[in-house]
Amino acid sequence: MILLNPRKLDRPYPDERSGEVMQQTVEFFENKGKERLLADYYDHVWYSDFLSFVGEKRIFATMCTPAGEGAEDARWDTWRICEFAEILGFYGLQYWYTWQVSVLGLGPIWMSPNEEVRKRTAAALEDGGIFAFGLSEKSHGADIYSTDMVLERDGDGWRANGSKYYIGNGNEAAIVSTFGRFAEGDEYVFFASDPKNESYDLVQNVVASQNFVSEFALRDYPVETGDILHRGRDAWNAALNTVNIGKYNLGWASIGICTHALYEAITHSSNRILYGQPVTDMPHVRGMFVDAYCRLVAMKLFALRAADYMRVASSEDRRYLLYNPMVKMKVTTQGEEVIDLLWDAIAAKGFEKSTYFGQAAIDIRALPKLEGTVHVNIALIVKFMPNFFFDPKEYPEVETQDHGRNDDFLFDQGGTRGLSQIQFHDYRRAFEQCTLPNAVLFAKQTEALRSMLADAPPGPDQMKDVDFLLALGQMFALVVYAQLLLENAPRYEIDDDLLDQIFDFLVRDMSRYALQLFEKPSSTERQMEGCQAILAKPIADPARYDRVWSNHVAPLSGAYEMNP
């Protein structure tokens, strides 16, 4: 089964330590139990027990230290990071969050030539330390052009003044990787700051949560040459390249949350009798579960395939820069749709404080809105659209990247320019190899979109119209999504029934976004005609649908329940 089940951690691992990390993490949460997990969540208890476990078992030290920087079992391995992030999301976004913001805080450090800070960082990880990414500010968010954190010369060093806002782990981080600029010359800088320093003012926790999402201010904070991580263009690149590494994990949090919620929802619904029948015998409820399951499987297939491209990335192959924001944007918004479908099925049960679903319904909303909203990521991916559709390039076949090795390139990505020059392999090959009815229909929709872009491309004003680009970008995203699903489906032995049912919702979604584009005030007559050519109704097959329900969805009832 492709979905995570903590009772059956049967994913193959290339080494004993990787499996040990996953098993120990599951055991921590199962021993904690559901009642305590939920009580801590609603009482906003700082998760010191989890951080003590992380330190005692060397979890972050193993998972977040690149090879050569720490112990022998340590490496930055995107493959095993995927499952770890999924497990943390499965039990609670708060546990994923403290790890996630540590990943972001570590990015500028592991990219830095500052060997002394790297050594301090490796030692702090071994001691169970967490980290923070001091980038965003209250007045202008993550707009790093406008940073108000300023370093002024003071003898051989500097004094830093300014504040940061929405900084996870800012209360307890061993090191906060802090972005700013030098007063002299306005040169960008990343430097290591210490929350224990008396000039570090922890102002507040800006959210009501178990997480500590801090506002902090540096007031005449002393910065020495040995604290500098990056300067100038390197600091800028470190900020964006850290995002490339860390924000990919948002999709995996969504996958974990949705998986746990699905187990709980279908078990409840299958055992609830209304009007003399189980709720899951009602056609509309069964349809919700089938759709939710198909969307969740698609989320995981895409995110896994995106990881393959991240792991083979190089200065000559930067396709991951499209797939990565797709995981941030597409997978997380699909997570919201999955929870909405499940919530419609279980109705008022989803509000109860004794359910995992109660926190899932709240937390799933955060992920598309963290670290760049949907429109930011759409604006990014449309830069790739011309080359994707009209200028493909030959690349070697990318196999499943499940071997245990360090992902060196992620910390040596180089510059961040030239996105519009990146080329992709021909998406049509994936579609040509699949003859399932709805996949063929979706391929026709894709070619209708390509024809519309060739005959009536967006004009200069439309390219500045975010509302227009959101609809067009969603259509483009669906093509990329479907392509990688098709590449990955045989690798995970997804049967034809399930794959065609997945394309049932992809056909519907493509039609939905085509209708939205049609309705935009700025769409032209030729673009409206193109949108009409894209509209299609999926090909229904009741026998296929019943097999998906019976073979894939119904067996999830009772398959997992967290220890009380």
The per-residue DSSP string of 349-365 comes to GGG-TTSHHHHHHHHTT
N residues, the chain: 564
Contacts with 294 (C-beta within 8 Å, 6 or more apart), sequence order? 498, 501, 502, 504, 505, 548
For residues 121 and 144, state if they share a domain.
Answer: no
Q: From 264, 394, 398, select the one nearest 323 (Cα to Cα).
A: 398
What does the alpha-carbon distance between residue 61 and residue 174 come to, in Å, rounded to a whole number? Answer: 13
Q: What's the helix, strand, coil split of the chain in %, to 5?
A: 60, 10, 30
For residues 259 and 173, state if they share a domain.
Answer: no
For residues 157 and 51, state if they share a domain.
Answer: no
Q: What is the pLDDT of residue 372?
A: 59
416 falls within a domain = no
Q: What is the pLDDT of residue 287?
A: 97
Q: What is the mean pLDDT of residues 183-207?
A: 96
Residue 203, domain extent: 133-232
Q: Which of 189, 205, 232 is the last residue in one of the domains? A: 232
Of 18-22, 139-143, 209-213, 291-295, the least confident: 139-143
For the cut 60, the answer to whether the pLDDT of residue 150 exceeds it is: yes
For the cut 60, the answer to whether the pLDDT of residue 350 exceeds it is: yes
Please report which helix (H) or strand (E) contains residue 121, including its range: helix 115-126
For residues 123 and 137, state if they share a domain.
Answer: no
C-alpha pair distances (Å), 355 with each of 207, 408, 500: 22, 41, 33
Q: Which of 181, 201, 232 is the last residue in one of the domains? A: 232
Q: What is the pLDDT of residue 373?
A: 64
What does the alpha-carbon distance between residue 345 and residue 268 come to, in Å, rounded to a whole number? Answer: 10
Q: What is the pLDDT of residue 247?
A: 82
Q: What is the pLDDT of residue 1?
A: 81
133, 177 contact by CB (below 8 A): yes
For residues 118 and 171, state if they share a domain.
Answer: no
CA 34 to mean position of chain CA atoms: 25
399 falls within a domain = no
Q: What percent of the chain has pLDDT over 90?
A: 89
- Is 0.85 topped by the overall pTM? yes
According to DSSP, the residues that pair with 137 across neighbouring strands are 141
Report residue 224 as tokens.
């020495």
Q: What is the mean pLDDT of residues 463-492?
A: 95
Average confidence score pLDDT of the chain:
95
User: For the residues of 240-285, what is the DSSP string, one character each?
Assistant: HHHHHHHTTHHHHHHHHHHHHHHHHHHHHHHT-EETTEEGGGSHHH
Strand 228-231, strand 277-278: pairing? unpaired
For residues 479 and 543, state if they share a domain.
Answer: yes
Q: Domain with 65 in it: what CATH number?
A: 1.10.540.10
Longest dimension (CA), the chain: 81
To the nearest 10°, the Cα dihedral for 214, 219, 224, 225? Answer: 70
Q: What is the mean pLDDT of residues 114-131?
A: 98
For residues 227 and 345, state if they share a domain.
Answer: no
Q: What is the mean pLDDT of residues 479-484?
A: 98
446 falls within a domain = yes
C-alpha torsion sign, points 73, 402, 107, 297: negative
For residues 288 and 360, state if they share a domain.
Answer: yes
Give the phi and the psi of residue 229 in degrees, each rounded to 5. -95, -45
Q: What is the pLDDT of residue 139?
A: 86
Q: What is the pLDDT of residue 380?
A: 84
Q: What is the pLDDT of residue 371?
A: 56
Q: From 222, 147, 158, select the one nearest 184 (Cα to Cα).
A: 158
91 falls within a domain = yes
239 falls within a domain = no
Q: Which of 207, 232, 257 is the last residue in one of the domains? A: 232
Q: Domain with 287 in it: what CATH number?
A: 1.20.140.10
Give the phi and the psi of residue 45 in degrees, each rounded to 5. -80, 125
7 falls within a domain = no
For residues 518 and 436, state if they share a domain.
Answer: yes
Q: What is the mean pLDDT of residues 427-440?
A: 97
For residues 265 and 363, state if they share a domain.
Answer: yes
First vs last C-alpha separation in the chain: 24
413 falls within a domain = no
What does the alpha-carbon distance between residue 457 and residue 476 come to, in Å, rounded to a whole number? Answer: 13
For residues 313 and 459, state if they share a domain.
Answer: yes
Report residue 531 as tokens.
């949108």
For the cut 80, the answer to whether the pLDDT of residue 285 exceeds it is: yes
Q: What is the pLDDT of residue 144?
A: 76
Give the phi and the psi of residue 457 in degrees, each rounded to 5. -65, 160
For residues 124 and 137, state if they share a domain.
Answer: no
Q: What is the mean pLDDT of residues 233-244?
A: 93
* Orientation angle between helical segments 356-363 and 249-270, nearest 10 degrees: 140
Q: What is the pLDDT of residue 143?
A: 76
What does the alpha-carbon distance between residue 441 and residue 399 come to, in Å, rounded to a whole number? Answer: 27
414 falls within a domain = no
Q: What is the pLDDT of residue 369?
A: 82
Overall number of domains in the chain: 3
Report residue 157 as tokens.
């060093």
